Chain A
Amino acid sequence: AQSVTQLDSQVPVFEEAPVELRCNYSSSVSVYLFWYVQYPNQGLQLLLKYLSGSTLVESINGFEAEFNKSQTSFHLRKPSVHISDTAEYFCAVSGWSQGGSEKLVFGKGTKLTVNP
């Protein structure tokens, strides 16, 4: 069985400060890793993903995440946040299960609040 732990439920930061949202996972099989973001009053949007290859993946709006197999982590980072980054961020993992379903297993989410 797979599981995802997002240790921080809320992260307040000031604008232009760096931020790291932590994600650890457990799985007995090879996994795919995802970060989704939910802006206020909107649905879930895919932010970035790790499927294979380079362990450092980037989004179009300046976020990056690094897959660390030995530490089973996929932390999300941004060197300088904007007010518009205020949202809830979800880490998720998928992998082939016995049923053949690639269902996503989510962490509980981290609410990032960027203050002026």
Chain B
Amino acid sequence: EAGVTQFPSHSVIEKGQTVTLRCDPISGHDNLYWYRRVMGKEIKFLLHFVKESKQDESGMPNNRFLAERTGGTYSTLKVQPAELEDSGVYFCASSQKGITQYFGPGTRLTVL
């Protein structure tokens, strides 16, 4: 069984540009989560999808971040326009019943 995959693994962009991160959850997992770790800080929750619906987006930092999960399969997280403080590692996780979450390898975003 394939695990959670994320693309790209690394992204380097300039301030003001747009970046889109993708997450493919484990097949059959209705719950999908996004987290972020800014350097030196703890891993923080961004949002939670149940199928295609946003269950909880209380962790989204501001309206420059847009997450979608059309069709309830893969999810994208778009940052537009990117700022320096958006740099960090973005993790995606999925869960079948919403208890045990399995994480992907993460996308390291660097904003210059």
A97 within 8 A of B: yes
Cα distance A51–B101 in the bound complex, in angstroms: 13
A-chain residues with CB within 8 Å of residue B58 when the two chains form the complex: 99, 101
- Contact between B59 and A106, CB atoms less than 8 A apart: no
B35: chain A residues at CB < 8 Å are 104, 106
Instruction: For the complex formed, measure the closest distance between the CB of B101 and the CB atoms of chain A, giving whole angstroms.
Output: 6
Does B18 sit at the interface, judged by CB under 8 A? no
A36 to B103, CA, bound (A): 10
Q: Tell me whether A49 is interfacial, beta carbon within 8 Å.
A: yes
B31 to chain A: closest residue by CB: A102
CB-CB under 8 A from A49, the residues of chain B are 100
How many interface residues does B have (CB within 8 Å)? 25
A100 within 8 Å of B (CB atoms): yes
Please tell me if the beta carbons of A44 and B55 are within 8 angstroms of each other in the complex. no
Q: Are B45 and A103 in contact (CB under 8 A)?
A: yes
Q: Of B62-70, B80-88, B91-99, which stretch is located at the interface?
A: B91-99
- A104-116 interface bits toward B, Cβ cutoff 8 Å, 1 = contact, 0 = none: 1111110000000
- Residues of B near any A CB (own CB < 8 A): 31, 33, 35, 41-45, 48, 55-56, 58-59, 91, 93, 95, 98-106
9 A-B contacts (beta carbon < 8 Å): A43-B105, A43-B106, A45-B103, A46-B102, A97-B56, A99-B55, A103-B59, A104-B43, A108-B41
